[in-house]
Structure 1
């Protein structure tokens, strides 16, 4: 079931996200978050933009949200989209369901562009974005550094037709 996030979801979301911090290049954060930091992030986003969770058998197994692309006012019609799944839950359609719902909630709200930033390589995330019509528009070589390696970041863009 997909539903709006609430503050009680912060511990589960923190656990999901910290796996990626500690074990992958998917995020460039390097220090695990505590629940209060995640709760603050949820609170700062949900007043303006959607943040949704996928709950299965009473457990949050994934989440997706939109955030400002950049803070300058001329970017106000562009958003960055994000999705994370609990480790081991990929390939079950959860990410697709979350992204479909997130994109649906953003359509018709006056936004023009959705942007997905992907640390590369990440075939699953590339496939997810392209499934929903995102097109690769840029790749920055070796802009991130994590786990003793330089990492490329690609950007995929979806122009919303209103």
Structure 2
């Protein structure tokens, strides 16, 4: 399958929402509990763009099959060289290397901005996401127990960090 990675466009918002809403409604991977609209997703894209942070999409078979973006880690000025990274794939396109390529492209874009640290949060357990982060050089730096409650259970969150 041929996959291309490109910057997000406004008309991608509905695809992004579709991909994300699978994880909202069926998993504990995100702590969001209500589906998001294309408008909500467009607002999130715009927020990243206003902060001059990258948002990329993976495209295959004529459609968007995944996305990755950077967001501010914290609001205080001293955090300005650190970002949080996020990646989501269409559930039908996991396990075939798209996430690795997409995430690597995001890290390259973040590095080009002279950022210092990339932080990825993972709802646990999630071995697939842990393997992805560690394959890209991230190291586990934190583990918070039972900080989220979704799907009738408590969920831990771990943080992985990549120093650029």
Fold-level similarity (TM above 0.5)? yes
Range with greater deviation from structure 2 (46-55 or 14-23): 46-55
**What are the Cα deviations for residues 129-154 of structure 1, in whole angstroms up to 9, with x where unaligned?**
00010000110000011011110000
Aligned equivalent of 2:120: 116
Question: Does residue 1:106 correspond to 2:110, yes or no?
Answer: yes
Q: How far is the alpha carbon of 1:64 from its aligned partner?
A: 0.2
Aligned pairs (5 A) from 1:7-156: 7-47=10-50, 48-156=52-160
Using the size of structure 1 for normalisation, the TM-score is 0.97
- Gap runs ≥5 in structure 2: none
Query: How many equivalent residue pairs?
Result: 160
Q: Distance in 2 between matches of 1:38 and 1:140?
A: 27
Aligned Cα RMSD in Å?
0.7
Q: Distance in 1 between matches of 2:13 and 2:23?
A: 16
Q: Distance in 2 between matches of 1:36 and 1:109?
A: 28
Using the size of structure 2 for normalisation, the TM-score is 0.96
Aligned equivalent of 1:3: 6
After TM superposition, where is structure 1 displaced by more than 3 Å over at least 4 residues in a row?
A: none
- Gap runs ≥5 in structure 1: none
Q: Distance in 2 between matches of 1:93 and 1:110?
A: 26
Q: Distance in 2 between matches of 1:93 and 1:28?
A: 25
Q: How far is the alpha carbon of 1:99 from its aligned partner?
A: 0.7
Q: How far is the alpha carbon of 1:88 from its aligned partner?
A: 2.0
Q: How far is the alpha carbon of 1:110 from its aligned partner?
A: 2.0
